[in-house]
Amino acid sequence: MNDMRIVKRDVDMNDIKISAKGVQVYYGDTHAIKDVNVEIKDKTVTAFIGPSGCGKSTFLRCLNRMNDTIDICRVEGSIQIEGEDIYDKRVDPVQLRAKVGMVFQKPNPFPKSIYDNVAYGPRIHGLARTKADLDEIVEKSLRRGAIWNEVKDRLHAPGTGLSGGQQQRLCIARAVATEPEVLLMDEPCSALDPIATAQVEELIDELRENFSVVIVTHSMQQAARVSQKTAFFHLGNLVEYGETGQIFTNPQDPRTESYITGRIG
Amino acid sequence: MSDQSASNGRISHGSLMVADPRTKKRNAAEARFRAYGIVAISIGVLFLAALAFSILRSGLPAFTQYVAKLEVTLSQEDYDAAESKMLKTAAYTDIFIENFSNALDERGVDVAYDSDAIERILGKVGGDIRGHYREHPDDIGRPVTFQLQTSSRVEGYFKGRVDRESLVDSRFLVKTDLDIVDALTDADILTGRFNWAFIKGTDAGVDNPGGAGIGAAAVGSLFMMLVVLLLSLPIGVAASIYLEEFAPQNKFTDIVEVNISNLAAVPSIVFGILGLSVFIQFMHLPQSAPLVGGLVLTLMTLPTIIISTRASLKAVPPSIRDAALGIGASKMQSVFHHVLPLAMPGILTGTIIGLAQALGESAPLLLIGMVGFVAREFPDGVVSGFLDPNSAMPAQIYTWAARADAGFYEKAWGGIIVLLAFLLTMNIIAIILRRRFERRW
């Protein structure tokens, strides 16, 4: 059973999910992202690493057009998901965000019950016809979020009453409940303690089975632990992109080597 | 200290057991600040207590009225006889006096009086009695207990405004009348009771302070508040949501923003003039109508509601908006499903502050004709409640306070108590609603 999955994963890994070409991002007069080209594969965990302010979060937010909410932000170049340009004017960002889910740095559950937190996405997208359908989606999502066993007896307790790590896993469950194809994670473990971090990392590895996961992280150990591909950003440039093992053991660019060995950043 | 720090290159902190001069200074400053705070709060409480005391002292007598109770049984023959006379009310006065003297005899009260004295003390009793029997013909032949209100000056005697020493005999009251009043009080015929007529009464009291009531004006205020609430809450909240969440940041929205803040500072009488020229002279809406009053007060309340709503929308953490957008909610869904419920307590507070201001406003109402003496009767229904001429409580109070008669002055204080009771009720409702919406998880 396990072996079968690995084989299936290997086959899928060849598909390119997101392809970004010549992406430039400006915040007013600031040139935040400079000509980034990257291809992100399906059913893979891709990590973006780099020092603070290098543009990795900005680039991540381009992938589901969350930057649209910032007035002064301007994006150029093309980002395609399965061959479709997401910045085409026919694309509704709301529809895009149902396909590309996002988990944020700080756990941000809605001040509602655990059940309603997870059920909100399916409800607004009309994914469930009946209450039973919805119950099923909620249970499945909470299981995928590896939090079902902890909350199954108190689904109607407030989501904000959970611990930090549980809240973040609830947010992941909420993100996967809409059945996205890509899951973006913006430093999902930076507000968590080591034990919660380990749980979330384990979860990310499991999510790889169904989703293409892109994770921004400050921790190089985390990138090494969870990702298959790693991209190193520096001062708005994508310096190096490759297999995680290669980036950490045999970086091609001297800047990558300096960052990994702790000399810049 | 300086040579010590020079010797080892560090600042010496000295013993922890002794407070250094800087610490002492800081602690003293903090103690002074606390003292200022306590003094400020004490002064505030003192003023509040003085205000409440003076309002209650001057206003509470307005809620007591003094009546003469007398049981009268009128036979059909007496009724026919009285109705056939030329001076009908005089005939009824005679009937009253007959019953009255019987009652006095029964209780063993011995006091001299004539029909003029009765009229000075109890007003035109004949008319009151005739009115009752003409309205309720079934009561003929049955014992009826009449509760006849004392005249304003007699009431003043009970409430301490009139005394024997300062009383100058006039056609309204002479000194011997007070002896009769005392005797009647001892005999339990004249008694004080709660003045429901003041709260329910519709007579704005053009010439009779004793009968004046704030009821109609209170209904006018209620209808106005309905107009204000129904217009300013949706318009204000919608405008703030648009400005805060959807509007682009440009020169135009900046100008709109500045002007909303300016509007909040415009004197209310300016809104009154605006209402007069736009709603009445241009749009030909009915004068003195609570609808127009409500419209004017809506203009006045909107800036308050918009400013407080925007502040509470701003206070909702952006992470909630991100969370909703990240799941694929549209901007509108994120605002209405998540941001607005969280901002609700703040919006309610702003709305109540705005409504309370509007409820206490009299200047703009005077300009559109909602003056005190207009309130004469309760509206027939909801539509006439909005459209028929009426007054509002503050305008009514203002009119009473401007009158010379001490009886009216007392009514003005009583009206303030009713107004404050209205405000307290509104605030309590707001607090209950806040508690419901507030999510402390």
pLDDT tens for residues A11-48? Answer: 444 588 899 999 999 988 889 889 999 999 888 999 99
More confident call, B212 vs B394: B394
- pLDDT value at position B420? 92
- Do B171 and B253 share a domain, yes or no? no
Across the interface, whether the CB atoms of A71 and B323 are under 8 A apart is answered no
pLDDT of residue B441: 44
The whole-model pTM stands at: 0.80
Within 8 A of B441 by CB-CB distance, chain A residues are 111, 158, 160-161
> Per-residue pLDDT averaged across B206-213, rounded?
72
ipTM of this complex > 0.95? no
pLDDT (tens digit, 9 = 90+) per residue, A161-181? Answer: 898 889 999 999 999 998 898
Closest Cα in chain A, distance from residue B441 (Å): 6
Taking the CA of residue B40 and the nearest CA in chain A, the distance in Å comes to 38
Of all residues in chain B, the percent with pLDDT exceeding 90 is 30
pLDDT band at A135 (very low <50, low <70, confident <90, very high): very high
pLDDT of residue B7: 52
Residue B207 burial (10 A CB sphere; 0-12, 13-18, 19+): exposed
- Averaged pLDDT, A249-261: 89
**pLDDT the model gives residue A221:** 87
CB–CB of B328 and A109 under 8 A? Answer: no
Query: Domain holding B242: CATH number?
Result: 1.10.3720.10
Q: B132-155: per-residue pLDDT in tens?
A: 888 888 888 888 888 888 887 888
Kindly identify which residue of chain A lies nearest to residue B245, measuring between CA atoms. A69
Under 8 Å CB pairs connecting chains A and B tally to 69
* Residue B170: band (very low, low, confident or very high) from pLDDT cuts 50, 70, 90: confident
Do B80 and B178 fall into the same domain? yes
Contacts of A108 in chain B (CB under 8 A): 317, 319-320, 322-323
User: What is the pLDDT confidence band of residue B293, given thresholds at 50, 70 and 90?
Assistant: very high
Q: What is the pLDDT of residues A225-234, one digit of tens each?
A: 999 999 999 9
Q: Is A101 on the interface with B (CB under 8 A)?
A: yes
pLDDT for the residue numbered A1: 39
B241 and B348 both lie in a single domain: yes
Q: What is the pLDDT of residue B131?
A: 83
CA–CA separation, A27 vs A20, rounded Å? 19
CA dist., res. B417 & res. B195, Å (int): 14
Q: What is the DSSP string of B83-152?
A: HHSSSHHHHHHHHHHHHHHHHHHHHT------HHHHHHHH--HHHHHHHHHHH-GGGTTSEEEEEEEPPH
Domain boundary residue among B128, B163, B194?
B194
A167 min Cα distance to partner chain B (Å): 13
Chain B residues whose CB is inside 8 A of the A99 CB are 328
For chain A, what are the domain ranges? 2-260
Tokens representing A264? 């810049």
Mean pLDDT of B65-91: 83
Are B164 and B239 found together in one domain?
no
d(CA B337, CA A149): 28
Cβ contacts of B316 on chain A, cutoff 8 Å: none
B135 with B229, same domain: the answer is: no
Assess whether B166 and B241 both reside in one domain.
no
Would you say residue B1 lies in a domain? no
Gyration radius of chain B over CA positions: 32
Which pLDDT tens digit goes with each residue over B372-431? 777 777 887 888 888 888 888 998 888 888 887 778 888 889 899 999 999 999 889 888
Banded model confidence at residue A265, pLDDT cuts 50, 70, 90:
low
**Predicted pLDDT of residue B440:** 55
Chain B residues within 8 angstroms (CB to CB) of chain A: 248-249, 317, 319-330, 333, 337-338, 342, 439, 441
CA distance A264 to A50: 9
Angle at B120 between CA B116 and CA B125, to 5 degrees: 80
Q: Which among B220, B185, B217 is positioned nearest to B292, based on CA atoms?
A: B220
Q: Distance from CA of residue A181 to its chain's centroid? A: 11
CATH topology of domain A2-260: Rossmann fold (3.40.50)
Tally the domains of chain B.
Answer: 2
Long-range contacts of A243-246 (CB under 8 A, 24+ apart): A244/A47
Say yes or no: B155 and B222 in one domain: no
Query: What is the pLDDT at residue B139?
Result: 83
Which pair of structure tokens corresponds to residue B316?
A: 């909702």
Strands (E), B11-63: none
Nearest to A40 by CA among A183, A202, A249: A183
Show residues of chain A in contact with B326, CB under 8 Å.
Answer: 64, 66, 97, 101-104, 175
A184-207 pLDDT tens trace: 999 888 888 888 888 889 889 888
Query: B144 lies in which domain range?
Result: 63-194
The reply to whether residue A124 touches residue B319, judged by beta carbons under 8 angstroms, is no
Q: Is residue B343 classed as helix, strand or coil in its secondary structure?
A: helix
Whether residue B234 is found in the same domain as residue B371: yes
**Is B342 in Cβ contact with A175 (below 8 Å)?**
no
Within an 8 Å CB–CB cutoff, is residue A160 touching chain B?
Answer: yes
| B81-133 pLDDT per residue, tens | 888 888 888 888 888 888 888 888 888 777 777 778 888 888 878 888 888 88
Q: Within this chain, do residues B366 and B407 fall inside the same structural domain, yes or no?
A: yes
Both tokens of A67, joined, read: 């930057």
Q: Do B322 and A64 touch (CB under 8 A)?
A: no
B17 in any annotated domain: no
Residues B90 and B231 in one domain: no
Neighbours of B295 (CB within 10 A): 23
- Statement to judge: residues B427 and B337 lie in one domain: yes
Q: A-chain residues within 8 Å CB-CB of B322?
A: 66, 102, 104, 108
Instruction: Report if residue B266 sits inside a domain.
Output: yes
Whole-number pLDDT of residue A11: 43
* Chain A residues closer than 8 Å to B337 by CB: 120, 124
According to the model, what pLDDT value does residue B115 have?
Answer: 78
Q: How confident is the model at residue B68 (pLDDT cuts 50, 70, 90)?
A: confident
Residue B184 backbone phi and psi in degrees, to 5: -65, -35
Q: Is the pLDDT of residue B9 over 70?
A: no
pLDDT band at B252 (very low <50, low <70, confident <90, very high): very high
Query: Using a CB-CB distance cutoff of 8 angstroms, which residues of chain B are in contact with residue A121?
Result: 327-329
pLDDT at A5: 45
CB atoms within 10 A of CB A126: 7
Give pLDDT, residue B375. Answer: 73
Binary contact (B324, A97; C-beta < 8 A): no
- A69–B330 CB contact, under 8 Å: no
- A110 vs B320: CB contact, 8 Å cut-off? yes
Question: Do B186 and B223 lie in a common domain?
Answer: no
Interface check A170 vs B, CB under 8 A: no
Residue B349 lies in a domain: yes
